[in-house]
Amino acid sequence: MAATQRQSRAPAAPSGSPGRPVLLVTLDVPFDHDAVVFAVDSAVEMGERLIVANIVERPPLPLSAMLGYEILPYTPEMEASLAEPARLAASLGINVTRLQVKSFHPISAMLEFVAEQNAGLFVFGPDRSRMMRLRYRRAVRAIRSSVTTLIWLAG
């Protein structure tokens, strides 16, 4: 009786279908270094894109929008914090998207953003020493109660 060999193959992802990205999110404070490292490492290991988002509590003012001042520049420290994960991931061959989301209610906007992105991993990575304790607790409570994807919390 002749022996036959079987080759097992993992099912390939359908061509052209996007995977589930890694989200790295903060609430208008610099990122925690551990969160940046974890998010970039995860994106590299998963082979998925990285979305770096800053959720900002700024109402859109009609006059500011008309005059072209609706986007305020970041401080140099904040800009460096947002650029670091994007630069690191890009150097490792990962597609990166940077976003700023403005809302009257940043925590609700963050939850809606996470749901829309259908993320594989959500890294909530603000530097806790730069964020009010009560605001962080509210955000974490909301994340734990409504986000259905894998979550990593700074600290």
Q: Which superfamily does CATH assign the domain made up of 22-153 to?
A: HUPs (3.40.50.620)
List pLDDT tens digits, range 108-150: 999 999 999 999 999 999 999 999 999 999 999 999 999 999 9
Question: Taking the alpha carbons of 109, 17, 45, 151 in that order, is the dihedral positive or negative?
Answer: positive
**How far, in Å, CA of 98 to CA of 53, rounded?**
6
Helices vs. strands in the chain: H and E counts, helices first: 5, 5
Name which of 24-28, 75-79, 91-95, 137-141 the model is least confident about: 75-79
- Full-model pTM: 0.82
Q: What is the DSSP string of 44-83?
A: HHHT--EEEEEEE--PPPHHHHHHT-SSPPPPHHHHHHHH
List pLDDT tens digits, range 15-31: 434 689 999 999 999 99
Residues across the chain: 155
